[in-house]
Chain A
């Protein structure tokens, strides 16, 4: 084995340029395979398996996926509104432990504004027994005041803190420079500790503040109503974008799903939340298949590169093989040396492929976190971490078979005497 190692090492060094190019191609191929499989699996896990603190989302009749994307991940637009009475019905249902009303539709410098009740800070538990924690002296907003609480990413990205003042803009995803600012100004009274969830990208304000924002028209009673300063808003006019629900027991999901999702209902209960997202991933499965196929093709191209590179060196190496044979090396020894060399190129590439994977992953993870607040884990184990390097080495070994056969077939006497 020491002899084979020496032969391979010296050959790689002698053909340093082609060795580097083929190792780089193999690294790219292995990195791509790792990225396609691991990022896809980890993204799915992060979006469907992470704790979001709620069991279901109640919203207007429509797509559960849109409802979940809008309320949980703060993407897309709201599919419509529910009346306040529908929220109250959900809140008062004995099968519901906690129901939080969400009113959305405004934003501030790219971050979404969510109107809700202070219960989001006092009763909502992101994990078992763990409510939102405030940084420093931060406190929840007063429901009757124009106060705001910022998620950690919002505060960091916009350089805001306690005492800062913000004026929400009408609409979401409005291009910079085209935003229409509301006149109402909200004072930041608290900044939350990071949670590594989409909540880090939210600006929380009292739901009453959303109702009373200039230009907001309430249609809870079917007719249009605009709140007046100093006057109470009749409950029948109030409406919410969605209600986030925590169930009181394990059977509640089935029962409430039947209640809200029955024919003729004006509401939709998205439950379980993870399933809606999983359906999205399933729908996008063909994209993954295409990417997988592409990564396989890149692997084959890399293996073809190894084959071409080694085959090109075979002519100049005939004398080397003849000398080795004359020294007593058996045919299978030179055959093994070439297969080992091609496997080593692929193996080195596979190792470097982890670096390519890490780079790709960091880019994807950054983009996912930037847009959704969801954290995807780089080092979460995936079978591809084992299978991709092994597969690459196997392909490399296969690519070495033809040049190895040429080395195996080298005629010793002819090649020794040709010099």
Chain B
């Protein structure tokens, strides 16, 4: 059964000169429950914009996005926020952890907008990702690899149906990238969450059985 279905998606930016420049054009795309897939494309091909559209952060100019049968393109901004908090996890290339909060608080804060924060679950997730000793550490006190694992825990904390990952290993060295990617895929599998990862890194893409190129989907 399809978890994510996209039809006729279109999003363009208007330049300063008033010219409309298409960023995302996607005729059709779907992802099954629990499936893990990668979307490939060079820089500037609209990968991040696509994830933002799926997450409901942006609205498309045209087209439809359905997640678990809910058409998020028809929702109000507030409803999309609520839907995102409850059903989606988002892992960013720059981690985007909140600087003033420790690892546990970062995860709890991620949970709090979708459900009641479960401290035990947050702690278990961080321990599962090897951060049991780092619960009280702030991002500034952690390595890049540790930060990405906190971001991963935060994305998975609400038991999302779909995890969106935007170049999640882009800021990591090869060794940490492998570890982070492995953990991301493993934990998503354990939690039963589907994973949609965008990247231009061949080393990352070759680990996925399903890789779609954005250009081919237009």
Contacts and interface: CB of A to CB of B under 8 A. Distances in A.
B92 A416 contact: yes
A319 B95 CA distance: 12
B92 A3 contact: no
Interface in B45-61: 48-49, 52, 55, 57-58
A180 interface: no
Contact of B96 (A13, A319, A328, A330): A319
Contact of B86 (A11, A325, A328, A416): A328
Which of B77, B99, B100, B109 has the largest number of chain A CB atoms within 10 A?
Answer: B100
A84 to B, nearest CB: 82
B49 A327 contact: no
A13 B100 contact: yes
B25 interface: no
A6 B82 contact: no
User: Main SS of the interface on chain A?
Assistant: helix
Contacts of A413: 49, 52, 57-58
A11 B77 CA distance: 26
Contact of A333 (B48, B86, B113, B117): B113
Interface string A1-36: 011001100110110000000000000000000000
A22 B94 CA distance: 33
Interface string B182-215: 0000000000000000000000000000000000
Nearest to B101: A10
Nearest to B53: A413
B109 A328 contact: no
Q: Could you tell me the dominant secondary structure of chain B's interface residues? A: helix
Contacts of A320: 98-99
Interface in A64-114: none
Nearest to B49: A413
A384 interface: no
Given A6-B105, A330-B82, A413-B57, A323 B112 contact: no
Contacts of A10: 98, 100-101, 105
Interface of B: 48-49, 52, 55, 57-58, 77-78, 81-82, 84-86, 90, 92, 94, 96-101, 105, 108-110, 112-114, 117, 154
21 contacts: A2-B112, A3-B112, A3-B117, A320-B99, A324-B113, A325-B57, A325-B81, A326-B96, A327-B85, A327-B154, A328-B82, A328-B85, A328-B86, A330-B113, A331-B77, A413-B57, A416-B52, A416-B57, A416-B92, A419-B94, A419-B96
Given A6-B109, A323-B98, A329-B81, 17 more contacts: A2-B117, A6-B101, A6-B108, A10-B100, A10-B105, A324-B98, A325-B81, A326-B55, A326-B92, A327-B85, A327-B90, A327-B109, A412-B52, A413-B49, A413-B57, A416-B92, A419-B94
Q: List 3 A-B pairs, minimum CB-CB distance, nearest first.
A: A328-B85, A328-B113, A3-B112
